[in-house]
Structure 1
Amino acid sequence: MFDTWSVRELANADHPPSVPLNPMGALPCIARLEDETGSSWWVAATANRWTTTHVLVLWRPDPRNHRQERLVWLRKADVRPWLHKEQATRT
């Protein structure tokens, strides 16, 4: 498993020019994180705020520890919605 605690700064973190002041929701998602060496991995996260180009995600470096979360703004292309089996069914 990738050691996310050792990551100091994410290379793909990207703060938008303007951000919403208040949280907009808590949508489950999957976020692609990239370290300074260019290695990337996907983590379960929660989308908290978003713009047309960026998403603020909350993720846990250690999924077993619910007391520690990290926040990072990512480009929209680095975030995917988390689909449950029922949601993924086409109608």
Structure 2
Amino acid sequence: MAKRIKAGIKDAKQNIKRREQNRYYKTRIKNLIKEATDAQNKEDFLEKAKKAISFIDHAVSKGVIHKNTAARKKSNLMKEASRF
């Protein structure tokens, strides 16, 4: 019985830590995409888009978002480039 309680406590701690990390990654992705889309010229947009795409790929490697979700976000971001 005691082992199950210990495991439950550990699991709860891990869930809290994972949730915080996942929220950080998802919020950062959202902010980087917003920064890129708010850019005023093409050079600035491409620089910020490159940073956002790099971070999206990093989030996929950490298992925070699915690879298809990442592909969709990157595709939509690059569609914005046609604005310029």
* TM-score bracket relative to the smaller structure: under 0.3
Larger radius of gyration: 2
* TM-score w.r.t. length of structure 2: 0.23
* TM-score w.r.t. length of structure 1: 0.22
